[in-house]
A and B are shown apart, each in its own frame.
Chain A
Amino acid sequence: MSEPQGATAATLTRKDFQTDQEVRWCPGCGDYTILASVQNFLVEIGADKSKTVFISGIGCSSRFPYYMDTYGIHSIHGRAPAVATGLATARPDLDVWVITGDGDALSIGGNHFIHALRRNVNLKILLFNNMIYGLTKGQYSPTSELGKITKSSPAGTADHPFNTVSLALGAEATFVARTLDMDRPLTEETLRAAHRHKGASFVEIWQNCNVFNDKAFELVTGKSSRADNQIRLQHGEKITFGPDRERGVRFTPQGRAEIVEVADVGIDEIAVHDAHREDPSLAFSLSRLSNGPYGPTPIGVFRDVDRPTYGELVEHQILAAQERHGPGDLASLFASGSTWTVG
């Protein structure tokens, strides 16, 4: 994918990516900020509207395509990664985005999600994680914390949640990142990296549902606590955090990531983040530092490595077959195998 694309780059504004449809999320929903971030980002890279496609499943976040003046499909629950895989494989020239949520991608559509990642389909998958079912009015989701009390779990859930980043890494993802709905600079920076990546880019966006799960991410996003709880990952830089960067992450000899006081261990002990590291073990260790917004949590790009995309491999096979056998000829296809003539 090249960016920016053609003469449209100079002329388009955010308004060009907005549709005439009234945006119908609840007032105060984190989705509004994400929508603005994505639209701004597309303007910034000079995206070609006609080659941009947003595909969603079902859920609050999945209304997103209706608000983007690009091509789009609002599909069925959980299937957006599969619909998008079909499109991206058929049309490698397109810029295909999947908009999904924690219920859509991780519960009903878990299978398609992991297979899109392991195939490294050329997609950007934006997972709006609010740790709750919003559209069906407040049931627990596969990322809700154990014991969460909801309409469908009055005694608290007995379900251990997914660690979304760990799951994506375990599914052989080549690009895995986490950002926060209200942090537009971080979101746009993450989108830029995701868009630059060839293949499946997975971006988890922690998104506040102010109606059914308000302030779920407060510890990590709130003004008073964020400095202590946001571990910003920057490729090539030491992983430090805290108001005075006084804390950091180091890897134990067994490969486990642990939070330490820089002063206690010395800056040389602190790990340098390597998003391009082929082996995903250290990225996985980083993902285990936090199993939700309950303490210091890494944000930014965990992993960004190159692997041939599914679409490239499929195209290569077709070109190779055509080179070897020439373009298909129906008459010789019909006559393949043993034939005989009558009359």
Chain B
Amino acid sequence: MSSANSIDSVAIRFAGDSGDGMQLTGDRFTLETAIFGNDLVTFPNFPAEIRAPAGTVAGVSSFQVHFSDHEILTPGDAPDVLVVMNPAALKANIGDLPPGRTVIANVDNFDERSLHKAEYDSDPLHDGTLDGYTVFEVPMTTLTVEAAKTVGAKPRDAERSKNFFALGLVSWLYSRPIEPTLEWNRAKFSKDTLVADANEAALRAGWNYGDTTEMFTGVRYEVAPAKLEPGTYRSISGNTATSYGLIAGAQAAGLPLFLASYPITPASDILHELSRHKNFGVRTMQAEDEIAAITLAIGAAFGGHLGVTTTSGPGLDLKAEALGLAVQLEIPLVVVDVQRGGPSTGLPTKTEQADLLHAMFGRHGESPVPILAASTPGDCFDSAIAACRIAVTHMTPVILLVDGYLANGSQPWKLPDPNAIERFPVEFATEPNHVAEDGSSEFWPYARDERLVRPWAVPGTPGLEHRIGGIEHADGTGHISYTPANHQHMTEVRAEKVARIADDLPPLQVSGADDADALVLGWGSTFGAIEEGVRRHNQGGGRAAHAHLHQLNPFPSNLRVVLDAYDKVLVPEMNSGQLAFLIQGHFVKRVRSLSKVAGVPFTAGEVAEAIAALSAERDDPEGHQ
């Protein structure tokens, strides 16, 4: 066995045709890496088409895994190793690979037909395209077919296992344990043992190929386990974490969870996940449309369930009117928006953060809705619980913003202690809350407590029969009212009720340099790239700080104080400057927007570069940056 050099982190990108199983390969490699003990971040990237024309650049699917012996926060600015299963995968990804790094190519697929499909005029492996790279040409298909023949697989079927060959080879290259994949493979294909046997043969062949050919001497690396906090871990994606958070949030509230959703990329996995956990009393409905999904959840909430709907941008558009109804009813509801590139159908499988202003203002009339945003896959769990808590304790719909990058990306997640999750048990109203002029007792659905929160009385409670509706109503009684003074009052009360939620939320934390000359203010999934970018900037002698918003409405109560401490504020976001717009409007404070709407997340390098540029700018007493 050739000896391995030691390095602190590696980013590997597996790229192939949509039908080549690259997402599965990436998932399995991630799990091996997690079990090995590295810290890691992943970035799956795939086309919206289930099977785009085979072999074309449009049909390329990729999965990047960044793993290290220390804490890391991003999937890596650029891959160190690019595994390509065909010419199209090379073409789509080589631009991201810095010179000097490694390409492992399935040379079997670099035939004339595949080259033509990828629109290469000549073979890039031999025409100088890859000069400056370390290139390994491996006949993966041939070797897979040979290996699978020994277990009785026919060549046409055996070919499909070539991603396991790639996985075996890369696993050997980085000393990953393949046992977890072998176990998974046997369980997954227990009913089709020929497939399981072929996959196993291919995986072992890949490993052995690395081990015996001595071809890879000098590029074999070991990345030691990271020093993670002690505990039991698993790898978790944002969508799974959101699902678990909703289950835990409902338990913390003491309510049954009711999820109604319409299938939409990239949110559907939450519906899939929650529909598997009926033993928790979770009711899931696949609604007839997005509007039905939210109104079903509203109906369930009226009945005393924790109503939730999950969607992505186009669905949030359709839910707008019903969200306004929930605002007007003042009924608890959680809306999870897994943002994707827009407008319209946009980029269904790519990430973006461009629904912030939509969440904030995307309804007619004055319609304030609390907005939360998750910052990492694991944070989706905590954010979902927080959304449930705010919804039921403040009698309001809440929007939780996630995005495609968080939803599909994964990270090691330290299993939380269920007993340590803060409980917020709901107490439904059971008694009348008002004495009428004639001395009789009544129930007023819009009588408010000191936080302006109304009572939640559910059908089945004798004596508290009441009607609520989308039409404007008098405070207290809930009777229809069109009077000028009442509408003014109700508009203000609904706004103030949401504003007071800030009292219930933790203050904004600032990390980075104590005496920073610039603040980077972010929200949502840019957390990793910003934190890493700030660290790099500061390691290079810079002095930047990082604050990350988890609450977009209302803002944390100390946000003004935090902003006032810095002359220079950089706001990176995967939109055209939506948080920057809110901050400038809200605080009349000039900030610098760093915008990216490319369907892929920021790299730490991009953030570090922008911080350096802003820091280097001459201080301008007029504030004209």
Co-complex (A, B): yes
B231 partner, pick from A71, A75, A342, beta carbons under 8 A: A342
Indicate if the CB atoms of B278 and A330 lie closer than 8 Å. no
B479 contacts chain A at the CB level, 8 A cutoff: yes
Residue of A nearest to B328 (CB): A76
**In the docked arrangement, what's the CA distance between A153 and B46, Å?**
50
Which residues in chain A, 42-58, are within 8 Å of chain B measured between CB atoms? 48-53, 55
Which of A79-87, A191-199, A243-251 contacts the other chain? A79-87
Residues of A within 8 A of B244 (CB): 330, 333-334
Report the 7 A-B pairs with minimum CB-CB distance, sorted nearest first: A343-B230, A86-B299, A74-B469, A328-B280, A86-B296, A321-B278, A330-B418
Chain A residues bordering chain B, tally (CB within 8 A): 59
Which of A85, A86, A91, A321 counts the most B-chain CB atoms under 10 A from its CB? A86
CB-CB contacts of B285-323 with A at 8 A, as 1s and 0s? 101110110011111111111010000000000000110
Indicate if the CB atoms of B31 and A111 lie closer than 8 Å. no
Using a CB–CB cutoff of 8 Å, the interface residues on chain A facing chain B are 19, 21, 48-53, 55, 65-66, 68-76, 79, 82-91, 93-94, 111-112, 115, 314, 317-318, 320-322, 324-328, 330-331, 333-335, 337-343
In the assembled complex, the CB of A52 is this many whole angstroms from the nearest CB of chain B, namely: 8
CB-CB contacts of B253-281 with A at 8 A, as 1s and 0s? 00010101000000000000000011111
CB-CB under 8 A for A86 and B300, given A314-B283, A334-B418: yes
CB-CB under 8 A for A340 and B470, given A49-B465, A93-B460: no
Using a CB–CB cutoff of 8 Å, the interface residues on chain B facing chain A are 31, 34-35, 37, 180, 184, 225, 228-235, 244, 247-248, 251, 256, 258, 260, 277-283, 285, 287-289, 291-292, 295-305, 307, 321-322, 324-325, 329, 415-418, 421, 458-471, 479-480
Residues of A within 8 A of B282 (CB): 318, 328
Indicate if the CB atoms of B302 and A73 lie closer than 8 Å. yes
Residues of A within 8 A of B287 (CB): 82
- Contact count A vs B, C-beta below 8 Å: 214
CB-CB under 8 A for A322 and B480, given A50-B461, A69-B465, A79-B291: no
Residues of B within 8 A of A342 (CB): 37, 225, 228-233
**In the docked arrangement, what's the CA distance between A167 and B462, Å?**
38
Residue of B nearest to A49 (CB): B465
Indicate if the CB atoms of B460 and A51 lie closer than 8 Å. yes
Residues of B within 8 A of A89 (CB): 258, 283, 285, 296, 299-300
Indicate if the CB atoms of A75 and B465 lie closer than 8 Å. no
Residues of A within 8 A of B233 (CB): 339-342
Indicate if the CB atoms of A318 and B467 lie closer than 8 Å. no
In the assembled complex, the CB of B251 is this many whole angstroms from the nearest CB of chain A, namely: 7
Indicate if the CB atoms of A55 and B460 lie closer than 8 Å. no
Q: What are 7 pairs between A and B in contact, CB < 8 Å?
A: A19-B467, A75-B298, A75-B469, A86-B295, A87-B300, A87-B303, A342-B233
Residue of B nearest to A48 (CB): B462
Residues of A within 8 A of B235 (CB): 337-338
Residue of B nearest to A336 (CB): B234
List 17 other contacts, CB 8 Å, given A72-B466, A324-B279, A343-B228.
A50-B465, A52-B459, A53-B302, A74-B467, A86-B303, A89-B285, A90-B305, A94-B459, A111-B289, A314-B285, A321-B277, A328-B251, A331-B415, A338-B184, A339-B415, A342-B230, A342-B232
